[in-house]
Homo-oligomer: A and B are copies of this chain.
Amino acid sequence: MSRIVMKFGGTSMEDLERIRHAARHIEREVNAGHQVSVVVSAMAGTTNQLVAWCQEASSLHDAREYDAVVSTGEQVSAGLLAIVLQDMGISARSFTGWQVPIKTSDVHSAARIEDIESGLLGKRLDEGQVCVVTGFQGISSANRITTLGRGGSDTSAVALAAAISADRCDIYTDVDGVYTTDPRIAPKAQRLSRISFEEMLEMASLGAKVLQTRSVELAMAQGVRLVVRSSVDDPEAAQVAPDGSNSGVPGTLVCDEDEILEKQIVSGVTLAKAEAKITLRSVKDRPGVAAAVFGALADEQIIVDMIVQNISDDGRQTDITFTVPDAEFDKAMAAITSDKDRFEYDSIAGAKGSAKISVIGVGMRSHAGVAASMFKALSEKGINIQLITTSEIKTSVLIEEEYAELAVRALHTYYGLDKDEA
């Protein structure tokens, strides 16, 4: 017998038909003898409606009241799922954040989970009851409902799994796992049976929007084994799960690097399009200049992605290049040019329409030359590299957007990720 947490997102809760389908996944785990906690998001569309009402009520709405309003979406879906499970003859009960309780910080609409009291749920699980918990929310020390911010249900699920010492946390979503790259771009992309937390973090923040970054960080810190699975699959199809258990549907296990025996040098190739690059030329090379530039962008809520600064040849001036989303390009240019003297550069140049390609893999740590081989693979296709940044397990390059898909497929093949033809 294992204790597991199953998380279902908004599309898996969209209507009663989808809720019944999710319930069959839960039934399978219950029948396998597991103790099951479920974390649910609001029915798809509900949260948007609630947010729209708050905005209609006031453009500067109070975050405490926003949280009270928006948190109702999960209360509804949790109650409906409990009813459906009971209708199938499964003992089930819904719990809100304040009933568990899930204690959070007081930062409304962006609260952090501080503590989950596991006594009540533990008792109910031991009694064989399925506990359906509202995701995305908790309660503050002032007894007010808080929310964790959009996408927070993944984090709720992981935190709950840690609190009740669950053996596994299954995240059911509309894809059936984490792929080596986007299958729409590279049809030979394969589902990874395992991926390390570190790789998943790089994947998540690079656009493979399967898991919320915070939830992966928390799982890594708390040692929670995460499985990404498909809620669309037939719940009763007998298949071997990625952790070797007989828990039905396949998926990708996100786990410690130690659990991955055969480490590939590169596990995945990711793509982010619509990146704009901005270069400041001949910036004075002294402390505070970079802080002024990126401070001005942060003040405008512009998220900067890649930042590259070369060592200056004469020690007096340098070039700084950074990227922002295409949609933020005009705003970013305005922020940097409006009070030009503050930033002490000679000239500025920028353009939209680049793409960032990254190769990710924990194997890079022990294998030299991954970056070099990446540049070689791209040059063989005649693709020019505009910018390069690297981290311990990732190498990213900026290229012209029209070469993006070609680059992804070339690298996918180059690193041996293509699945065998059937």
A residues in contact (CB < 8 Å) with B: 16, 19, 50, 53-54, 56-58, 60-62, 64-66, 68-69, 71-72, 75-76, 78-80, 82-84, 86-87, 93-94, 96, 98-99, 143-144
For A94, list chain B residues within 8 Å (CB).
65, 68
Shortest Cβ gap from A94 to chain B (Å): 5
For A83, list chain B residues within 8 Å (CB).
54, 57-58, 61-62, 65-66, 69
A82, B72: Cα distance in complex, Å: 16
Considering the complex, give the chain B residue whose CB is closest to the CB of A19.
Answer: B57
For A64, list chain B residues within 8 Å (CB).
93
A64, B56: Cα distance in complex, Å: 32
Tell me how many chains of this kind the complex includes: 2
Shortest Cβ gap from A62 to chain B (Å): 5
A86, B61: Cα distance in complex, Å: 8
Tell me whether A80 and B99 are in contact in the complex, defined as CB-CB below 8 angstroms, given that A72-B75, A94-B68 are known contacts. no
For A86, list chain B residues within 8 Å (CB).
58, 61-62, 65
Tell me whether A84 and B58 are in contact in the complex, defined as CB-CB below 8 angstroms, given that A69-B79, A75-B72 are known contacts. yes
For A78, list chain B residues within 8 Å (CB).
68
Considering the complex, give the chain B residue whose CB is closest to the CB of A88.
Answer: B58
Considering the complex, give the chain B residue whose CB is closest to the CB of A49.
Answer: B76
A114, B172: Cα distance in complex, Å: 42
Tell whether, in the assembled complex, residue A16 and residue B87 are in contact, meaning their CB atoms are under 8 Å apart: no
Shortest Cβ gap from A18 to chain B (Å): 12
A-B CB contact pairs (8 Å), 23 listed: A50-B76, A53-B76, A54-B80, A54-B83, A58-B83, A60-B87, A61-B87, A62-B82, A62-B83, A65-B79, A65-B93, A66-B79, A66-B83, A68-B75, A68-B79, A68-B94, A69-B75, A69-B79, A69-B83, A72-B75, A72-B76, A75-B75, A98-B98
For A54, list chain B residues within 8 Å (CB).
79-80, 83
For A16, list chain B residues within 8 Å (CB).
53, 56-57
For A65, list chain B residues within 8 Å (CB).
79-80, 82-83, 86, 93-94
Tell whether, in the assembled complex, residue B96 and residue A68 are in contact, meaning their CB atoms are under 8 Å apart: yes
A65, B84: Cα distance in complex, Å: 10
A87, B66: Cα distance in complex, Å: 13
Shortest Cβ gap from A346 to chain B (Å): 48
Considering the complex, give the chain B residue whose CB is closest to the CB of A144.
Answer: B99
Tell whether, in the assembled complex, residue B69 and residue A76 are in contact, meaning their CB atoms are under 8 Å apart: yes
For A98, list chain B residues within 8 Å (CB).
98
For A56, list chain B residues within 8 Å (CB).
16
A61, B87: Cα distance in complex, Å: 7
A66, B75: Cα distance in complex, Å: 11
